[in-house]
Amino acid sequence: MAEPDVVPALEALGFSLNESRAYAALLQESPATGYEVGVRAQIPRSAVYGVLRRLVKAGAARSIAGSPERFAPAPAEDLLVLLRKRFDASTEQLEEAVRRIDVTPKAPDAFSVGGYQRILEEAERLVRGAQHRVVVSGWPREIEQMTSELKRAAKRRVYVVIFSHAELPPLPGEVFSYGLEEKGLEEFWKHRLVVVADDRRSLIGATEMTETDSAVVSETPAIAEIATSQVALDITLLSQRTQRDIEGVMAKMLGPRVGRLDTLLSKRDADPRTARPKAGR
C-alpha cells in the first residue's frame, strides 16, 4: 500500500492526520529519529515526539532506546490484528450496553442518506436483510461493490433480479443488461441506484461519487411497489428487443398482480360489449 493510501486508511480507523503520516513515514524508512520522521512526514518538530509516543501507546510503533531515541513501525499485519481485536471488543461492549437499555427505536418510514459511500452501505444493508426477493437497478460501478452481499443473498435462496443498461460482470440471480459501454452511457445518463427488498424496503438515489449524492431509504410498501414496477418495465422493454421469455421473472417480481391483470384482460376481450375493435375496422 502506497503512502498516499496508508494515510486516509489510518484516518478512517481513528488515527489523526499527523499520526497517520508518521506511521507511513516509518513504513518507508526505519528506525528513525523524531526529527527524521518530522521532516519526512511534514510534522512540526515541536509536535512530532508527541505524535510518535501516541503511536507507541496505541501499539502502532515501537520505541528503541538510545541517544537519540529511535522509532520503528509495528508490522502492518500485527497492527491489523490488534485493531480488529479492539474493534470487536468495542462492538461487543456497545452491543451489551444497548441490550441493557432494552429499547428498540421505531424506524422511520423514510429517511435520507447523504454521501456516496453511505448510500452503498444502506443498499448493502437492504440486500443483507432481504429474506425473499431483491430487485436491483443500477450501473456496474455500484453493483460490483454490492456483489458480495448479492451472492450471500442468493445463497440464502433469496430471489435476485438485477437490471442495467450497461454491461455487467457475472452476477447471481436473474440478470438483465443491454450490454452497453458504461462510458458511452455516462455521456447522457447519470448514475442512479434502485434497490428493493422483500417488496417493502427500498432505496432510490444518485450515485455520482460527488458530495451532493443523496438517496431516500423507505419502509413504505407503495414506494417499493412503484420502484419494482419501474424496473419491471425496463426488463419488459429489454425482453421485447431480445425475445427473452420473462414470464416467470415477472410473476416472481410482481406477484399475483400479473396473473390477475391477465385474467381481467381476458374477460374484457371475451365480452363482446367491452372487446376492443380490431385495427382497420
Please tell me the predicted confidence (pLDDT) of residue 109.
Answer: 79
Q: How many domains does the chain have?
A: 2
> Helix 34-41 crosses helix 17-28 at what angle (to 10 degrees)?
110
Grid coordinates belonging to 208: 455520482
> Do 133 and 242 sit in the same domain of this protein?
yes
- Cis ω before 31 (30° cut-off from 0): yes
pLDDT tens digit sequence for 234-274: 999 999 999 999 988 998 888 766 655 555 556 666 666 65
Please tell me the predicted confidence (pLDDT) of residue 161.
Answer: 97
pLDDT tens digit sequence for 204-245: 999 999 889 999 999 999 999 999 999 999 999 999 999 999
> Do 172 and 215 sit in the same domain of this protein?
yes
In a domain, 102, yes or no: no
Please tell me the predicted confidence (pLDDT) of residue 104.
Answer: 62
pLDDT band at 103 (very low <50, low <70, confident <90, very high): low
In a domain, 276, yes or no: no
pLDDT tens digit sequence for 146-176: 999 999 999 999 999 999 999 999 999 999 9
Range of the domain at 25: 3-77
Question: Which DSSP string corresponds to 79-141?
Answer: HHHHHHHHHHHHHHHHHHHHHHHT--PPPPSEEEEESHHHHHHHHHHHHHH-SSEEEEE--HH
Q: Is the pTM of this model over 0.85?
A: no
> Do 121 and 239 sit in the same domain of this protein?
yes
Q: How far apart are CA 152 and CA 5, in angstroms?
A: 29
In a domain, 97, yes or no: no
Q: Is 44 left (phi over 0), alpha (psi -120 to 50) or beta?
A: beta
Rg (CA), the chain: 27
